[in-house]
Amino acid sequence: MIRSFIFLSILFFFFQAEAQYNSGPVGFAALNGGTTGGSGGKEVTVSNYADLKKYAEEPETKYVIHVEGTIIGSGSIAKGDYDGSIKVASNKTLLGVGNTALLKGMGIMVSNAHNIILRNLKVTLTGIHIPDSLVEKDIPGIYSAKGDEGRAQILVNAGDCISIQKQSTNIWIDHCEVFNEDPATQLNIDLYDGLIDIKNTSSFITISWCYLHDHHKCHLVGSSDKDEFDRKVTFHHNYYRNIDERLPSFRFGAAHIFNNYYENLRVGGINSRMGACLKIESNLFKDSKDPIGTRNSKTVGQWEVKDNKFDNCTGSMPDSSNCSLEIPYEYKSVLTKVAALKELLLQHAGVEKKLKSPKIEAK
């Protein structure tokens, strides 16, 4: 009887996942006027860096940009003219074609922009290879030999795969795969910065149904203890695997973190800082250290915890709350039972997989 219930639950949520994939965002990105990206604008297909940059960076014009195949940055690292940052302007959708779209050795920057959808894309900085002859030298805008802490740093796109900064609002990142290198073998914690970082007065953001893996530092929300702003971010139905920490590291503001599957977090998971209030609901943590806590901050953060499961975890696993966050959007219709969560996300988080071709509709 129990097995039949779990199977039926998984089947129900598979259909639920598919329905959501073909509709708008759930979470804070659905508020503040909603997030529709380039819906209603011109549709173009790109397969090289120059065209992607041309359409994505055109101010204000609505575009649905279908991204096809592997795209790498432009220029030469050795010559110091490498460009690997796409600065997405407002009212754009970047939509991967099938499971082919890979942005390699380059990142996406959202700065002072609004109404942007990033969907069905693979993004990694790992295509950036510094020649042996230059590893001890600085290459402006590309590479720092000693960085801020005496460790080498990639500077392309500020070291982030995806960076959201300044006053950027209504951003939806959905069904993407974002990764760098296995932190057990790539030991420099500063070589890359974040997988998806959010800074300054950016808000009304949803990160959903993504597969994020193999990295040291995943999400930094708030760049420092002085970066004070009442941010609103939703993280739901994401699969996090083999990441050291910052799942997220969240300063100030509020986040709703529900229905995520965390596996093999090596240093620490969700880190609430500087008075932030995080609603942490119906998540599954497996084989992880300190899944939920507050650390590395002069002012502690807080949380509201509900129905989370810890499987073979150690350290901080709070089961009581010290803040309360009222969620201003409907999400109960997509809230998944923890018993069904692992299989659901293994099947559906990340790029297209078994879902129908994505369709973006204006609300």
Residue numbers annotated as active site: 246
Where b means 16+ CB within 10 Å and e means fewer, 140-153 reads eebbbeebeeeebb
User: CA-to-CA distance for 32 and 2, rounded, in angstroms?
Assistant: 42
Alpha carbon 293 to chain centroid, angstroms? 20
Helical residues (DSSP H) of 68-185, grouped into ranges = none
User: CA-to-CA distance for 129 and 134, rounded, in angstroms?
Assistant: 10
Contacts of residue 140, defined as CB under 8 A and 6 or more positions apart, other chains included, come to: 80, 155
Angle (deg, nearest 10), helices 2-21 and 338-348: 50
User: CA-to-CA distance for 56 and 39, rounded, in angstroms?
Assistant: 14
Residue 144, CB-side half-sphere exposure with 13 Å CA sphere: 17
Both tokens of 255, joined, read 């986040």
Instruction: Report whether 319 contacts 313 (CB < 8 A).
Output: no
Contacts of residue 108, defined as CB under 8 A and 6 or more positions apart, other chains included, come to: 85, 86, 88, 94, 118, 123, 157, 161, 162, 163
